[in-house]
Structure 1
Amino acid sequence: MRPFKPITLVNLTLFGLLGLTSLLQASTPNASQIASLQGDRLLLQNGNQRPNPARVGNRLTNQSQALIVPGNNRSLARLAFVGGGQSYDGLLLQAGPDQQQTEYRFPCVIVGGKVTLSWRQGNNRGCKYGVHLSPGLSAAAPKQQQKPSATNKQLPQGTPENKEASLTIQPLGNDPILLRAVVDDDLQAIETLQGEVLIISAQYPEGLRLRSGERYFNLGDGQDQVEPFNPTEAIANSPDLQEFLNPEIWRESQLPAPVSQDINNHLIAFQDLNQNTAATDTPDMTDLSLACQAEVDFYLANLKATMGNTWRPPYPPSPGVWRTEVSYLLTKDGRVQNLQVAQSSGANIIDQAALSHVRTLEQRFEPFPSCYPYEALPVDNNFTVRYQ
């Protein structure tokens, strides 16, 4: 039994493109309300008027408004997106803290600095066609969005005209999403802590998919990479992320009661998701019977052989033997979780190629042996390149 079904990459590509939601219109919230502030000298600017101190409860409601968070590594602002009436529009945003100024422009634009974003579960959520990030510019009033055309249809309203060095983060699927992003003139970095997003940029006009536990880097010189990381450790090591995910922080705001309750449900979903993810941790293989263990071993042997035979590695940096070991959990529906480099080859280009190859074959695996009782199967794959 072969471990995955032969589906052509062309079909996979076409399926991905047909599945993308149209970007001809932006999903615009009615308002973004400031739920909490930290630090000093946070300003709210309306068009070309003199900026005023930002206050908890202030609402941004039109594209001439911008919230400016100073770059002092301690100031931040948390905003909740509000729909019509007293409804919650399914998006939480934190601007800062960072060493450079972070500017949020209503409705869906970030200029410079650092942001934390979270879309709630479901498809009814603000800025669902993307939050646009651009390197730091002057705190001028944002331009009005033009009527969508073939050249600007992928950009949210109020987008600065620095298209070559900017990108759009678009939520994918209906699962709750949590991510952090940093953008300035020399660096673009996005890490997806939960859920999946699509990065749309000049380099990736059709979008680059970024999954939970993956970090994207672009150093501004055309060189970029995606690498795995541990979301649980990232949250544990970040006090501002822990506060962001704490419902009590949002209850102390001046938000309407229905909005506060919906935010509470939004954040509880992350706790439930973490519990579900923990349930798919490495199963106890010692519980299997000898006959079932033999079936699983045969399944894994075929899987690893096919993975190795279909891999087309890049050229290593120098002659020699280069060996990368990756580990992951394969779920019953063919998804790959907790993908990481268990042992590096010493060449990042080889390590990244191995990770990408595993992702390429995702959801093309055949079902587990019928005797296997668990939801996920731990896999260790070795990828070796001999170059002389």
Structure 2
Amino acid sequence: MATAPEIDAPADPLGAFRSEVRDWLAAHFPPSLKGKDNAMSAVEGPHENSPEEDAWQAAMGEKGWGVPTWPSDYGGGGLSRAEARVLQEEMARIGAWNPIGGMGVMMFGPTLLEYGSEEQKSEHIPAIAKGTVRWCQGYSEPGAGSDLASLQCFAEDKGDHYLVNGQKTWTSGGQWADKCFMLVRTDRTKKHEGITFLLCDMDTPGVEVKPIRLISGSSPFCETFFTNVQVPKANRVGAEGQGWTIGKRLLQHERSSLSGGGSAAGRLFAQGTPLAPLAKTFVGEDEQGRIADPELRGRIARHEMDLRAFLATLRRASQEVASNQGPSATTSIMKNVGARLIQERSELLIEIRGLAGLGWEGEGFEADALKDARAWLFGKAVSIYGGSSEIQNNVIAKRILGMLDHQ
């Protein structure tokens, strides 16, 4: 009987690049850092790097692979989307993590690449790509949260500079940031068209930061006050009055990150406590080795299916971005679903442990349980920051479903 001819497997079109990545990672990634988190992406506080972490960050920054698809002219990797996926796969294979992160990578950098002048991109993008400058966001105000366009922080034209007076709140990492990208009002007679996008050094005289202590016990957010702060006009991104357009674009980048690739969701999904093994420990198993409580078993199964479908959708959406002009209004859908999954997972962890999951500090509680309890409390903010779920629903209705307001 004749045998079927052997068919050679198709060659990997990126095989040479994959080999290059493996060789480079083997030479530069310290094995002692395997599986560690990216401290630069967090806002909980400054991180004292070990010598190995400093070396890893410097290597990735010099290579540009911390922001692999950004233009190489500004310190990025200059990779294609396909090459960036290979890099991500090879890093995941050995437990490597990206040491370059923060708001400069998540939000400001991609926005500046679209709207910034050549001088601004040359000045700011390389430092973001190397992770040497921390940025914070000056958007929300005490009277302008969900209705952000009501902001009143005012920038008065003084010829070669603006004189900024006002207040921002929920400034993530403001007490540790070097610079702030902010929305200010330059025209009080117009709502949306009166907003301008400025960049401000946080050590400028007149800038005062007061941390806000949260129910979770951390203080990652601040009130930020601006009193006669001089901001050079060279620090204006785009034209005067274009701030609302630029600010909305930045929020799309933020929602894209927060939906799954950002610090909160990324750490929870990639490194969070597994639900099923924990439930078997605290609730027990039936004679078939399943979680003993059928109702809880069903809820965990539904959550895991929703999570996997969500992550698969994120991967597909990130691939489709290559043929578009960056994130779209669909990031609002991803942000809402991601927020729901984060909160749902945290609540399941508390419920599974029962009283053992409600510890705050002290003896008698496992370290993971204390961490998950604080994450549960912090997670209440996930459906608020980056634009509340209600605001995302409005965006979905108007920008995706085409529903218009009817008087």
- TM-score bucket (shorter structure): under 0.3
Specify which structure has the higher proportion of helix: 2
TM norm structure 2:
0.22
Specify which structure has the higher proportion of strand: 1
Flag the structure with more relative contact order, 1 or 2, with Cα contacts below 8 A and sequence separation at least 6.
Answer: 1
TM norm structure 1:
0.23
